[in-house]
Structures are given as structure tokens and as C-alpha cells.
């Protein structure tokens, strides 16, 4: 007997985890725009608009700014594959799970990885970066702007200046921050950066924006060895995104449509207004959690507005609370990663999910569940 497969009917959720975030209905509608060829003139015009809008959000004039197919990890892989050659000394700042990933990937591409270790939940001390740079000629300094595993927002400018003083490039992970707080590529002196479509940009997962400045482009063009990854080789990809339109891959047409609409929403709202919305919602959430008697994890003064981390009270079952939030309120939040697994919750207010009504819903739901689970605050 032939098996029956019904229509897709995923539950209606309020996505308040570390990503993905909810997508605006306009973004979802864009995805059902008729598919055309990846070299169709209409699609090429859409690609140009995506590049223009990405430069706006990244606050950069970098020509080499576009999306690569894949999630934020594809962006991380792209940047490291193109900037790292065997034997290069790479200083990686690690104060969470995604700094660890950068160190691992750089090592796989043959780098001599120097780890600047920080405490999870705290920012990286620039003095430690300076010390690492003084110990040898460095090709690249890599750092996470908003560490998704801890909710810490890292000041960038001083570390970028230190990198440049020592002749190194500065690579910044902006997966969680882009579109939710200021990312000033040119003004801060960031040489290369990557992000993800599914967080503060409010687009479904599957694309990773990247941008390379003049110093990073020079490093790419002066490599002594070919880029190990063919698919993420920017010397090939840039030819597809440039006026040359040299065929490289069949672009994910519908996702590019979605990205264009998500970026258009950012542009219409305006960066300052968008940052204000994320900041005010984040502050309301963090204040509400503290008033319930919960303890925030990230360092005070460096708490990201779009991703709040809160320590799980003693005696409270992590998975049970998250499952009750999902089953009883259709609210999704995230648990801890790495050394913080089972010890904290990660609550995201990103893009379209960043709404005051979601803050009120979540706080009321969590308070009720915690009281029923025996937490008194």
C-alpha cells in the first residue's frame, strides 16, 4: 500500500532562540516569486540590489560584498579559507563556542593558531591581544563581535587598531550582530566580516553575507597557494557577483529574493531606528528577568541587546522548562552551548522577532512556569 504524505503543517512558533528568528510576511512572500535563471537579467539586477543593501547594513564601501550560499558557518569558512595559508600565524580570540570554531577551522587550513583565551561571558581584554601580537608576525586576528553562546558584545575598534599596528588583518564574526546593532566596517577598520541571514536580518537560513575590504582583497590576490576550497574561493565567486557574471554555481534564487526583501525592510526602517528597537526590547527583557530574581550571565555593560543569556536557577530542569514554553506557549528559546550546556538559557530578540509583545509574552510565560516548577526568586 502506498504511504500517504500529508501537507507540511509545522507548529506556529514564536522564535525567541539564538536563531533562526521569525521572518516578516513580506520576506516569506518574496520566496514564492517566480524562479528565473541565475543569469537572467532580472535576477542579476536583484543581485546588484542585494550588494547595495548589504553595503548599507555593513556601513561599508567595499566592492567585494555579497552573499555566499550556506549558513553563517559557510561565511566563517569562506573568510578563513581565503585569508589563511599554511604556516600563517593567526591570533584567534576565544571567549565562547564560535571563537573555538574559528580556531579549529583556521587550524584545518594549516594556520599556526595562537589562542587568546577569555572567560566565557566576559569580553576579550585588548592587552592580551597586544601581547599575542608582539610575540610574532601575524597574518590575521579573528574575533567574534556578538558571541552567540554567551550574549557578550565585544568592542572592536581597539583590537582592530592593534592588529593593523602589527601588520595583521582583522576578521570579525558578525553573525548575530548584523542588522541588530551597529556594525561599522569601514569606520572600525574591520578588514573582513561574515554574517548569517537568519538572525537580526530576519531572513530564513541559508545565506551568509560577507564583505572584504582593500587589505583583505590584497591578501587574497597575493596568495602564494590556491584557496583550498573551490566552492568558497572568492577569486571565483567575485567574478559571478561582478559585472563579468562568470558562471560559478546555480544561485539559490528564492533565498536571494528573500534576502533582498529582508534588507529592504532594514533600509525602510533605517539603521538607527532598528538599533533602537533592538536596544529597548533587550533592555526590557533583561530588566524583567532580573526583577524575577534571575541572574544574567553576560558581563554587565557588554550585554548584547538581541541575545540575552540567563543562568538557570538551581533545581530547575533546563529541558523541562524549554519544552513547556514550546508546548504551552509555542515559544522557542535556546539552551547553553559548550561549557555552558545545561547552565543557561539563550533568549533572542532578533529582526522580526524583536517586538515588545514578545518580551511581555515570554516573561509572563517563564514566570508562571518557574513558579510551578518551584522557583521563588
The pLDDT value given to residue 331: 98
**Lowest model confidence (mean pLDDT) among 63-67, 144-148, 372-376:** 372-376
pLDDT tens digits for range 62-102: 999 999 999 999 999 999 999 999 999 999 999 999 999 99
The pLDDT value given to residue 155: 98
Averaged pLDDT of the chain: 97
Please give the Cα distance from 289 to 300 (Å, whole number).
Answer: 14
The pLDDT value given to residue 11: 87
Q: What is the pTM of this model?
A: 0.96
Residue entry with cell 599596528: 165
User: Looking at the predicted structure, is the pLDDT value of residue 376 above 90?
Assistant: no
The pLDDT value given to residue 81: 98
H helix or E strand, kind and range, residue 113: strand 112-117
pLDDT tens digits for range 27-51: 999 999 999 999 999 999 999 999 9
Task: Record the cell numbers describing residue 239, joined without a space.
Answer: 567574478
Average pLDDT over residues 234-239: 96
DSSP class of residue 202 equals -
SS (H, E, C) 260-329: HHHHHHHHHHCHHHHHHHHHHHHHHHHHHHHHCCCCECCCCCCECCCEEEEECCCCCCHHHHHHHHHHHH
pLDDT tens digits for range 277-336: 999 999 999 999 999 999 999 999 999 999 999 999 999 999 999 999 999 999 999 999
Taking the alpha carbons at both ends of the chain, their separation in whole angstroms is 57
Domains annotated for the chain, with CATH where assigned, are 14-18+271-372 (3.90.1150.10), 25-267 (3.40.640.10)
Phi-psi region for residue 355, left (φ > 0), alpha (ψ -120 to 50) or beta?
beta
The pLDDT value given to residue 365: 98
Please give the Cα distance from 236 to 276 (Å, whole number).
Answer: 38
The pLDDT value given to residue 6: 92
pLDDT above 90 as % of the chain:
97
Amino acid at each position: 500500500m502506498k504511504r500517504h504524505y500529508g501537507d507540511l503543517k509545522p507548529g506556529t512558533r514564536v522564535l525567541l532562540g539564538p536563531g533562526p528568528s521569525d521572518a516578516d510576511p513580506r520576506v516569506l512572500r518574496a520566496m514564492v516569486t517566480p524562479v528565473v535563471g541565475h543569469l537572467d537579467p532580472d535576477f542579476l539586477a536583484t543581485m546588484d540590489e542585494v550588494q547595495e543593501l548589504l553595503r548599507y547594513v555593513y556601513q561599508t564601501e567595499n566592492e567585494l560584498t555579497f552573499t555566499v550560499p550556506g549558513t553563517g558557518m559557510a561565511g566563517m569558512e569562506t573568510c578563513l579559507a581565503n585569508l589563511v595559508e599554511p604556516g600563517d600565524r593567526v591570533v584567534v580570540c576565544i571567549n565562547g563556542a564560535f571563537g573555538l570554531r574559528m580556531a579549529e577551522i583556521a587550524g584545518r587550513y594549516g594556520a599556526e593558531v595562537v589562542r587568546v583565551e577569555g572567560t566565557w561571558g566576559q569580553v576579550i581584554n585588548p592587552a592580551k591581544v597586544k601581547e599575542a601580537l608582539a610575540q610574532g608576525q601575524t597574518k590575521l586576528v579573528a574575533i567574534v563581535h556578538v558571541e552567540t553562546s554567551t550574549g557578550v558584545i565585544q568592542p572592536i575598534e581597539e583590537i582592530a587598531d592593534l592588529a593593523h599596528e602589527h601588520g595583521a588583518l582583522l576578521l570579525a564574526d558578525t553573525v548575530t550582530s548584523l542588522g541588530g546593532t551597529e556594525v561599522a566596517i569601514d569606520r572600525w577598520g574591520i578588514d573582513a566580516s561574515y554574517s548569517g541571514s537568519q538572525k537580526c536580518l530576519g531572513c530564513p537560513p541559508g545565506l551568509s553575507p560577507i564583505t572584504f575590504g582593500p587589505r583583505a582583497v590584497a591578501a587574497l590576490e597575493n596568495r602564494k597557494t590556491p584557496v583550498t576550497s573551490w566552492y568558497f574561493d572568492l577569486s571565483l565567486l567575485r567574478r559571478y557577483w561582478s559585472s563579468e557574471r562568470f558562471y560559478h554555481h546555480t544561485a539559490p534564487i528564492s533565498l536571494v529574493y528573500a534576502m533582498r526583501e529582508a534588507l529592504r525592510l532594514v533600509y525602510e526602517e533605517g539603521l538607527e531606528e532598528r538599533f533602537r528597537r533592538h536596544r529597548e526590547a533587550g533592555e526590557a527583557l533583561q530588566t524583567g528577568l532580573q526583577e524575577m530574581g534571575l541572574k544574567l550571565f553576560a558581563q554587565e555593560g557588554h550585554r548584547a541587546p538581541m541575545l540575552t543569556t540567563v543562568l538557570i536557577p538551581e533545581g530547575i530542569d533546563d529541558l523541562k522548562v524549554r519544552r513547556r514554553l514550546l508546548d504551552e506557549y509555542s515559544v522557542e528559546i535556546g539552551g547553553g552551548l559548550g561549557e555552558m550546556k545545561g547552565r543557561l538559557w539563550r533568549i533572542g530578540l532578533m529582526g522580526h522577532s524583536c517586538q515588545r509583545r514578545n518580551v511581555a509574552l515570554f516573561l509572563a510565560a517563564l514566570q508562571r512556569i518557574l513558579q510551578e516548577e518551584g522557583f521563588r526568586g
